[in-house]
Structure 1
Amino acid sequence: MRQWKGRQVILYHGNNGHTQKVRGTLEKWDDTRKYVILGPKMLAIPFENIAYITMLPPGRERRSRHPAKLNSIGYVMSVPIQFDNAIYFQSAVTVWKDDQLIAYNIKLASHTDHDVVLEDGQTLSKEEHLFVVRSLRGEL
């Protein structure tokens, strides 16, 4: 099923004899945690609840009326949940130190109470740097 990652599917799932049909993009197949992530709403569906998965027929793919693009307005991250969300949603982050641009549209790998690790491996201090995040608007 991993070969279907990124493809649009119809997934039938449920338990106790009740089955629901959902349509979306197979975003992630996790053998360790035993679930799939189905976008665009990022639904986590356990393997044990999946009854059947099929590809959407050609020409039936969902076309977004509003394709995803970066919001032109960003905001300064200051609380831990904002850093958590930027990591989880793989948001574009711009990093500043005073008036010097350190990194542009980079993703965060992790963070602690005092430091942030960027996707390229750099570790930066939260006190010395300003982290500005821009969200995606529209549909993926």
Structure 2
Amino acid sequence: MRQWKGRQVILYHGNNGHTQKVRGTLEKWDDIRKCVILGPKMLAIPFENITHITMLPPGRERRSRHPAKLNAIGYVMSVPLQFDNAIHFQSAVTIWREDQLIAYNVKLVSHSAHDVILEDGQTLSKEEHLFVVRSLRGEL
């Protein structure tokens, strides 16, 4: 079953003769908690309650109702965790210096306490620049 991780499945589960059918993506096979995590709602279904699992036939996969797009609202980054997240999630960042636009929708590569390195190799000071991040809304 581990080979089905990341695939869309139909999972039948239940107890006392009552079976339910759940459709979703097999996100995780958790041996420690003895359960399967089924997305997108991240349902934890115990191994002992699973009657059987079938993979969705080709072409029947769930289509995203809300495709990913950039949020119209930006957030000024001020704490190191925000910079870490922007790097990790490859978020679009707009950079300002006073009232002048320096870079639009660039990605950050790394940062330190005082500087930020952009994807093109440019190093900018955190004190002299304003970094605005825009998150993705919807499903990838």
Superposed pair shares fold, TM > 0.5 = yes
Deviations 1:13-67 (A, max 9, x none): 2327x4526468xxxxxxxxxxxxxxx98xxxxxxxxxxxx97532122211111
Q: Do the aligned partners of residues 55 and 91 (structure 1) sit closer, same or farther apart at CA in structure 2, a change above 3 Å counting?
A: farther
- Give TM-score, length-normalised by structure 2: 0.64
Checking the alignment, whether the CA contact within 8 Å between 1:109 and 1:117 is kept in structure 2 is yes
1:40-59 superposed matches below 5 A: 57-59=57-59
Distance 1:21 1:85 in 2: 24
Seq. identity, %: 73
Counterpart amino acid of 1:14?
D
What is the RMSD of the two structures over their aligned residues, measured on CA atoms? 2.7
Matched, 1:13 2:13: no
Structure 1: 5+ residue stretches without partners: 1-7, 25-39, 42-53
Distance 2:120 2:57 in 1: 39
Could you say which structure has the larger radius of gyration?
A: 2
Q: Which residue number in structure 2 is paired with residue 29 of structure 1?
A: none
Distance 2:106 2:83 in 1: 13
Q: Which residue number in structure 2 is paired with residue 135 of structure 1?
A: 135
Structure 2: 5+ residue stretches without partners: 1-5, 9-25, 43-53
1:1-140 superposed matches below 5 A: 9-10=7-8, 11=26, 13-15=29-31, 18=34, 20=36, 22=38, 57-140=57-140
